[in-house]
A = this chain, B = another copy of it.
């Protein structure tokens, strides 16, 4: 439900630029020679965007923008919006307009919709797997280069939550930073002194000693890296609400439930954005005279 209520949000300028870049890549400087050769100007057409498999929709705004960039007068009716569940065969949207435009924009629209819905669908499966626990599923910076804003939006469409956007909007102190800084305490001290009051600070820890050490410096969050469920449970008990806890490493659809049941607040999953298969979505086209 893009833009409605308090759903995930994607600035229009981001959408327009992403679509323009993708169309430019497909059209080159000569445009769609097949369509111009074979389809008479002025031909009208309509189409139905339908899922071939069940999943969660994300990216409908990009699909709409792709069609309307080529045909500003195209009509686009959203049946299932961003974040909605679609069955196999279910209709996601209807589009009507200039036949050439529909064929020109089709692949760009579907590439966005399939990629983003693939991420939303995988996210929704992880979210479902931890239902009933307090754990939330979050993403990482392991995104496809250039598409981070779209992919983090898709994670939210699937019911996940976003980690920091990039290197600039929050402090996440990892093992290498700790080594270079000379220890957990020094690293946290420096981070607090450097960061403004609106910047959160998280630090990676790998055992209970490090948890204790870190807690002395009041970080906002602890990244519990590659811990077993038993160790996670102990760490959560040790933290006792003094910081947000994030589990990371070795998370799969098979292991995520056990991790969630340790009581961690957050579970980060790189695969959401780096390895989600496309959701198979197609356009059923109807040419008109």
Decide yes or no whether A88 CB sits under 8 A from chain B.
Answer: no
Whether B198 lies near A145 (C-beta < 8 A) is no
Whether A194 lies near B37 (C-beta < 8 A) is yes
Decide yes or no whether A43 CB sits under 8 A from chain B.
Answer: yes
Whether A199 lies near B196 (C-beta < 8 A) is no
Whether B180 lies near A198 (C-beta < 8 A) is no
Whether B177 lies near A38 (C-beta < 8 A) is yes
Decide yes or no whether A248 CB sits under 8 A from chain B.
Answer: no
In whole Å, how far is A26's beta carbon from the nearest beta carbon of chain B?
4
Whether B146 lies near A22 (C-beta < 8 A) is yes
Known: A167-B33, A168-B165. A287 touches B176 (CB 8 A): yes
Whether B107 lies near A37 (C-beta < 8 A) is no
In whole Å, how far is A175's beta carbon from the nearest beta carbon of chain B?
8
Contacts of A22 in B (CB 8 A): 145-146
Contacts of A221 in B (CB 8 A): 197-198
Q: How many copies does the complex hold?
A: 6
Known: A38-B191, A277-B275. A144 touches B111 (CB 8 A): yes
In whole Å, how far is A21's beta carbon from the nearest beta carbon of chain B?
5
Whether B21 lies near A13 (C-beta < 8 A) is no
SS class, residues of chain A in contact with chain B: mixed
- In chain A, positions 1-43 with a C-beta closer than 8 Å to chain B are 3-6, 9-14, 18-43
Inter-chain CA distance A266–B196, complex, in Å, is 10
- Chain A 158-177 interface mask (CB, 8 Å, partner B; 1/0): 00011111111111111011
Known: A11-B31, A190-B37. A118 touches B275 (CB 8 A): yes
The closest CB in chain B to the CB of A143 belongs to: B111
Known: A99-B180, A177-B35, A181-B38. A27 touches B107 (CB 8 A): no
Decide yes or no whether A94 CB sits under 8 A from chain B.
Answer: no
Decide yes or no whether A239 CB sits under 8 A from chain B.
Answer: no
The interface of chain A, by Cβ under 8 A from chain B, is 3-6, 9-14, 18-43, 45, 70, 99, 103-104, 107-108, 110-112, 114-115, 118, 138, 141-149, 152, 161-174, 176-181, 186-187, 190-191, 193-200, 202, 220-221, 244, 246, 265-266, 270-271, 274-275, 277-278, 285, 287
Which 3 A-B pairs give the minimum distances between C-beta atoms? A28-B168, A37-B194, A22-B145
A–B pairs, 9, beta carbons within 8 Å: A9-B31, A14-B31, A26-B166, A35-B177, A39-B181, A146-B147, A176-B285, A176-B287, A271-B277
Q: Can you name 11 extra interface pairs (CB under 8 A) apart from A5-B41, A165-B169?
A: A6-B41, A11-B31, A30-B169, A32-B168, A34-B172, A34-B177, A34-B191, A114-B274, A163-B197, A170-B199, A179-B287
